Amino acid sequence: MTVAVVLFLWVIVIALGLVAIMRSRALFRSGFKAGAVDFLRLLPRLTIGVFGSGFIAEVMPQELIALWLGPDSGLAGTLIASAAGALTPGGPMIGFAIGVAALKSGASAPQVIAYVTAWALFALHRVFLWELPMMPARIVWLRVIASLPLPFLAAWIAMLAGRP
C-alpha cells in the first residue's frame, strides 16, 4: 500500500474518532475498545497469512505454476485459476495467501486476479454451507450463473490495463 493510502485511511479513522468523542466519551471508549479487540483478534491471523504465503510460495512447484498460470497460459490459465479459486476453502488468510504465493511462483497478474475473483464469488464451501441453507436454491444458482463471467472479465481488464 502506498503511503498516501495509509495516510488517507488514518485520516478517516481519526475523523471517525473525533465524531465519536464529540458525541460522548463513552461512545469513543466503546468504539476504541471494539477496534482494539478486532485488531488483537486479526493480528495473529494476518501474521499467519503473511508467513504462510511465504512458505506456500516456496513449496509450490514453480515450473507448473508458471506453465499453468503464467503469462503464456491465456484463457486456459484463467479457467484453471477460476476453478482453483472456486475450490479454495477458507477465509481471506488462505485465499489471499495462495494468490500471493502464486504470484511469487510465476503466475501472472490476470490469472491471480481471476483466482481471487472466483474465490470471492464462488467459494463452493460458502455456497453449500451458507447460501443454500439460508436462501432459496433458485436464487443461489442464479447468482452463481450470473457471476460466472466475472473472473474472466476481471482477468481480461487486467490484461488490457497492462502489467500492474
Q: What is the pLDDT of residues 28-87, one digit of tens each?
A: 999 999 999 999 988 887 788 778 777 777 787 888 888 899 999 999 999 999 999 999
Tell me the C-alpha to C-alpha distance, in Å, between residue 63 and each of 34, 57, 67, 89. Answer: 45, 12, 6, 24
Distance CA 51, CA 81 (A): 22
Give the chain's radius of gyration (CA, Å): 20
Q: What is the mean pLDDT of the chain?
A: 90
pLDDT of residue 19: 95
HSE, CB side, 13 Å, CA atoms: give it for residue 16: 11
pLDDT of residue 164: 56
Q: Beta strands of the chain (E only): which ranges?
A: none
Residue type (1 letter), 144: V
HSE, CB side, 13 Å, CA atoms: give it for residue 60: 25
| The model's pTM | 0.73
pLDDT of residue 105: 87
What's the chain's length in residues?
Answer: 164
Residue whose C-alpha is closest to residue 66's, from 29, 35, 103: 103
**Residues near 132 by beta carbon (within 8 Å), at least 6 away in sequence:** 140
Tell me the C-alpha to C-alpha distance, in Å, between residue 42 and each of 5, 31, 113. Answer: 20, 16, 24
